[in-house]
Amino acid sequence: MSLPIVDLTREDIKQGMADGSMVIIDVREPHEFAAGRIPGAVLLPLSTFDPADLAAYKDRRIVFSCRTGGRTQKAIALAQAAGWSLNEHYRGSFTDWVAAGEPVETD
């Protein structure tokens, strides 16, 4: 059974990150993540995505992010196929974050 995907806004992301209830799982590739990411985001690249890795974050609300919101939907499908009841992603993802002038972390 798949759950419908829920689009979260930048304000939803900022609130969840500020209060510590949310973890952003960034499914972009390592070079994209190193070049710039939402502060506090965790890298789990879609190319090597293993839903079992999500267990480390099960105590928080897991929300997926990528560049524009496309890869997040694939990650959600993979997580649901593995038995996770996850369905939230950041609509617009990193592109939206940067366009709004939000802070960015880099390596």
pLDDT tens by residue, 53-95: 999 999 999 999 999 989 999 999 999 999 999 999 999 999 9
Look at residues 90, 94, 70, 84 and name the one whose alpha carbon lies nearest to residue 12: 90
Judge if pTM exceeds 0.85: yes
pLDDT band at residue 102 under the 50/70/90 scheme: very high
Tokens matching residue 94: 């990193």
Q: Would you say residue 1 has pLDDT above 80?
A: no
pLDDT tens profile 35-53: 999 999 999 999 999 999 9
Q: How far apart are CA 31 and CA 8, in angstroms?
A: 25
| In contact, 90 and 65? CB cutoff 8 Å | yes
pLDDT band at residue 11 under the 50/70/90 scheme: very high
